[in-house]
Amino acid sequence: MGRFDGRVVVVTGGARGIGFGTATRFAEEGASVAILDLDETAASEAAGRLPLVDGARAAGIGADVSNGASVEAAVSRVVEELGGIHVLVNNAGITRDNLLFKMSEDDWDLVMGVHLKGVFLMTKAAQKHFVEQKYGKIVNISSVSALGNRGQANYSAAKMGVQGLTRTLGIELGPFGINANAVAPGFIATEMTDATAARLKMDVEEFRALSAEANPVKRVGFPEDIAAAVAFLASDEASYITGQTLYVDGGAKLG
Ligand code: NAP
């Protein structure tokens, strides 16, 4: 018996990277999983690769988490196609890095829109169902960059915003049987960090090796590392934990 048998889990930005790793973990543990991503074809293709357990189903749904109408339509489709919603993982993300003096207003708005407004919109749409059924788990993906990172004024502000939002969700939704927590990853090997390597004109392997050297456990993280923490926080074992942010970073920010 899996920890998520009979549950419906939504993972935003689930077509690849941390989101796909997380969707895979929930599927392995018995959940039906909806992958939401910008591109419906990519979302459906990823949903088709999930290792579903008997009786579980998957859906791939195109949605832009920064757009209210798109989010409302996507959450309605999840409930219609998979029969409900019990866990929401707010993972979709983008970067538009630049030093402050070169950062455009558009790059600020885009990053805030996906990371911060996206979590607000998705959570607002899902909580209606959660409150009605007196059950729900929300796990938001923050970042070690919330603590400050050169070239990421927009991203770090959004990711610290996610932590504040998570605490407030914990306070407001706790009485309705809903837990809200965040996971703050350190360096995770995905297309997002590969793109950072390219921007810095570094070889991907060299960039990963440098990042591994910068933390006490001397390795980079993988989507599975984040998936394990998300699954724990979304499980009933974690029902006395809410409003928290768990850093999963190999100890990178210990000092
Ligand atoms: P990734 O490989 O770039 O995947 C992000 C996914 O989100 C992509 O499939 C992307 O779709 C999707 N997406 C982007 N904008 C969206 C929108 N408006 N609506 C719906 N989906 C959208 O990134 P990742 O490395 O797995 O990161 C996942 C999360 O972890 C992000 O929130 C990121 O900030 C956070 N994080 C990552 C790291 C790391 O080291 N990788 C560290 C800390 C935190 P497209 O491909 O169509 O753009």
254 is a domain residue: no
Residues 205 and 100 grouped into a single domain? no
Q: Where in the sequence is the domain holding 203, given as residue range(s)?
A: 190-220
Residue 95 has pLDDT above 80, yes or no: yes
Residue 129 has pLDDT above 70, yes or no: yes
Contact 84, 33 (CB under 8 A): no
20 is a domain residue: yes
Residues 235 and 216 grouped into a single domain? no
Residues 195 and 238 grouped into a single domain? no
In this prediction, residue 122 has a pLDDT band, given cuts at 50, 70 and 90, of very high
Contact 118, 90 (CB under 8 A): yes
pLDDT tens digit sequence for 221-230: 999 999 999 9
| pLDDT average, residue stretch 206-210 | 96
Contact 7, 53 (CB under 8 A): no
Residues 145 and 197 grouped into a single domain? no
Residues 216 and 228 grouped into a single domain? no
Residue 255 has pLDDT above 70, yes or no: no
Number of domains comprising the chain? 2
Q: What is the mean pLDDT of the chain?
A: 97
Residues 138 and 236 grouped into a single domain? yes
pLDDT tens digit sequence for 6-18: 999 999 999 999 9
Residues 216 and 232 grouped into a single domain? no
Whether residue 241 has its Cβ less than 6 Å from ligand 1 = no
Residues 131 and 148 grouped into a single domain? yes
Q: In this structure, what is the dihedral angle of CA atoms 158, 237, 128, 19, given to the nearest 10 degrees? A: 50
Residues 60 and 140 grouped into a single domain? yes
Element (H or E) spanning 197, and its range?
helix 191-199
In this predicted structure, what is the pLDDT of residue 23?
Answer: 99
The residue whose CA is least distant from atom 39 of ligand 1 is: 188
Whether residue 128 has its Cβ less than 6 Å from ligand 1 = no
182 is a domain residue: yes
Q: What is the CATH number of the domain that holds 65?
A: 3.40.50.720
Q: In this structure, what is the dihedral angle of CA atoms 181, 71, 55, 222, given to the nearest 10 degrees? A: -50
Mutation choice for ligand 1 from 11, 24, 38, 219, CB with most ligand atoms inside 8 A? 38
255 is a domain residue: no
- Model's pTM, two decimal places? 0.98
In this prediction, residue 167 has a pLDDT band, given cuts at 50, 70 and 90, of very high
Residues 27 and 123 grouped into a single domain? yes
Residue 247 annotated in active site: no
Residues 72 and 196 grouped into a single domain? no
| Residue 175 CA, ligand 1 centroid: distance in Å | 31
Residues 107 and 121 grouped into a single domain? yes
144 is a domain residue: yes
122 is a domain residue: yes
In this predicted structure, what is the pLDDT of residue 254?
Answer: 85
In this prediction, residue 253 has a pLDDT band, given cuts at 50, 70 and 90, of confident
Residue 26 has pLDDT above 80, yes or no: yes
Sheet of strand 8-12: strand arrangement: 58-62, 32-37, 8-12, 87-90, 136-141, 178-185, 245-248
The residue whose CA is least distant from atom 29 of ligand 1 is: 91
Contact 62, 37 (CB under 8 A): yes
pLDDT tens digit sequence for 42-75: 999 999 999 999 999 999 999 999 999 999 999 9
**Percentage of residues in the chain with pLDDT exceeding 70?**
100
Output the six-digit token pair for 88. 């929401």
In this predicted structure, what is the pLDDT of residue 1?
Answer: 84
